Amino acid sequence: MKKLLFITAGVVGLLSLAACESDSDMASRNLSKAAEMFEIDRRVIFYNGITDTYMLTIEGRCSIEDRSNQLEVTCKVAENAFMKHFLGLSDNVTYFAEQLGVADVSTYHHRVIFKPQAIIPDVDFRGDVGELLE
């Protein structure tokens, strides 16, 4: 009985916290998820602040991962076809990304993505079968 009461209290607590989230926070989170699923067209521009020049522009359905001193941009170019770009960031090199179109996302519901096929990994075998038999 105590376990059921504890679980119920936890669920109510989580729902209360979720209900306190602003519309803009919810929309922002859902837009980010849509972009990570390659559903949103973006333009990413790399800019040199010393020379005032654009170094590179990437457009398409792209996901952005900002790592320390490096930006990774993965773009979907066709069905099951992707390209990944890397650019080092420094004192004088920065980037900005813009969303090129509108996206229909909810301000009331969290978007949850479940991909059951991700549970079973693809396994690539590299090696010589003859070595296994020795």
Residues 39-56 pLDDT 10s? 999 999 999 999 999 999
Residue 59 forms part of a structural domain? yes
- Residue listed under structure tokens 């890397």: 86
Question: Do 60 and 41 contact (CB within 8 A), yes or no?
Answer: yes
* Domain assignment of residue 2, yes or no: no
* Domain span at 65: 41-102
pLDDT digits (tens, 9 = 90+) for 10-34: 655 555 555 678 888 998 898 999 9
Q: What is the mean pLDDT of the chain?
A: 85
The three-state secondary structure class of 103 is: coil
Average pLDDT over residues 45-70: 93
Token pair recorded at residue 97 = 């990304």
Domain count, the chain: 1
On whether residue 121 sits in a domain, the answer given is no
Q: Per the domain annotation, does 48 fall within a domain?
A: yes
Predicted local confidence at residue 72, as pLDDT: 95
- Average pLDDT (105-125) is 83
Q: Is residue 29 part of a domain?
A: no
Q: Which range among 2-11, 56-65, 125-134 shows the weakest confidence by mean pLDDT?
A: 2-11
Quick one: pLDDT at residue 14? 56
Residue 111 pLDDT grade (very low, low, confident, very high; cuts 50, 70, 90): confident
Answer whether residue 53 is part of any domain. Answer: yes
Range with the poorest average pLDDT among 24-28, 45-49, 70-74, 118-122: 118-122
Closest CA to 60 of 78, 42, 72: 42
Inside any domain, residue 9: no
Token digits for 39? 């559903």
Residue type, 88: G
C-alpha closest to that of 40 among 93, 118, 98, 1: 98
In a domain, 134, yes or no: no
